[in-house]
Each structure stands twice: as C-alpha cells, then as structure tokens.
Amino acid sequence: MAIDWFPLWLSLRVALISTALALAGGLWLAYVLANRDFRGKDIVDAAVTLPLVLPPTVLGYYLLVLLGRASPFGKLWESVFGSPLVFTWKAAVAASLLHALPLLVKSARAALESVDRSYERAARNLGASEWSLFWRVTLPLARRSILAAAALAFARSLGDFGVTLMVAGNIPGRTQTVAVAIYDAVESGNGAVARMLVLVVSAVALLILTLANRLSPSRI
C-alpha cells in the first residue's frame, strides 16, 4: 500500500503558517480589545468570533468573493505575484487562518486580561512605555496561556475541510490537504489510505492538545 504523505506535510505547513499569521494579527487584536475602549468594540469582538459559528460554505463564499480573481485583492495579488491566489496552497492558508484567528484572539484576550492589573500599574508608575509594558511585563506573564491558545489554533487549522475545499480546491499534489485527501480516499473507496491518514491526523491532534493542556496555567 503506497500512501501519498504529501497531504499531511501540506496540512502541517499550512497550519504552521496560518498559526504564525494568526499569532501576529491576533495578539494585536487581542491587545486592542483588552486595553482600548472604542465605539463598535462589541461589533469587532463579534465579527472576530463569527467564523467559529458560520457554516464553512458561507466562509468559503466570502473568501472567494474577497480573494477571487475578479476581486480587487485578487487582482492586486495577481499583478504582484503573477499568478492567482485562489486554488493554490496559499488560499488554504487563508482558509485556516479564518479558523485560527478567532480562537487565538479569544484566548489571548482572556490571557492578557487575566494578568494582574497591579503589574501594569507598577510598570506605568515606573515610567515604562505602553510598548515596553506589553512586551516585557504583560506578554511574558500571559505567555503560557497564549502558547496554549496557539497550539489550539494550530490543531484547528490542521482540521479545516469545507473552506479549504471551496477556495483551494482539491488538486492532488498541489492543494490537497489531509482533510480533503481523507474525503477523497473515502469517496474513491480507498479505505486503507483513509484509515491511515485518519489515525495519523488524530494522533497529531491529540499530541498537540495534550501540549496545549500542559501549557495552560489553569492546570497548575
């Protein structure tokens, strides 16, 4: 039985990149939501959470409209990189990001807010800028929870199916992630391959969630 491991490697790569992107964007968003008061904050908060509840088809549709070849972003992408974004593995990153971001923002915000305010007061009182307060006090103190959140986001990115299928398609050896490959294998009656991939994905996810639990400070 020859199993093509490409979908697994692709999925890991996609999940890693989307987690990194989610970490960068999500931390900033979480910081803003945790520290700033502005009009429409509730709406931003809800919009960030939206991907958790919307059907994958709806999300996929939005992404196609947003990133498709006819959209302004799609055109810009194509003129800069010379090829379209949709139906490449990079579109799969965008799809995963949609799932990783809400998880990360939610947990990171909670983590940042759970840091005892007296540390932040102390830092300000000692003359620290908001920047250095964040990087040297708040973030290190929330570090474990945020890493746990990142692990969770990684696991979630690994498992995306619907949105990826809609925006990246199912091109074997190019955009076929492990979730799509399993679907493909089952559909074509390739039970042995499906079983193997299912087991490996489950094992990887279990490993990551165990790690996330270890990291989360609530267990200590």
Total residues in contact with other proteins, by rule CB under 8 A: 16
Report yes or no: 113 and 45 within 8 Å, Cβ to Cβ: no
Interface map 169-188 toward other proteins (x if CB under 8 A): --------------------
C-alpha separations of 56 from 20, 52, 148 in Å: 22, 9, 25
Residue 141 touching other proteins (CB under 8 A) = yes
Residue 123 within binding range of other proteins, rule CB under 8 A? yes
Q: Is 37 in the site for other proteins (CB under 8 A)?
A: no
If the CB atoms of residues 40 and 127 are measured against other proteins, the closer one turns out to be 127
Among 47, 57, 140, 207, binds other proteins (CB under 8 A): 140
124 binds other proteins, rule: CB under 8 A: yes
Q: In the structure encoding, which two tokens stand for residue 72, read together? A: 């302004």
Structure tokens at 156: 């979630």
129 binds other proteins (CB under 8 A): yes
Query: For residue 52, what are the contacts with CB-CB under 8 A and spacing of at least 6?
Result: 99, 102, 103
Min separation Cβ 79 and other proteins, Å:
45
Q: Using CB under 8 A, which residues numbered 60 to 119 contact other proteins?
A: 116, 118-119
Near other proteins by CB under 8 A: residue from 41, 69, 121, 214:
121
Tokens of 159: 């498992």
Residue 55 contacts other proteins per CB under 8 A: no
- Residues binding other proteins (CB under 8 A): 116, 118-119, 121-129, 136-137, 140-141
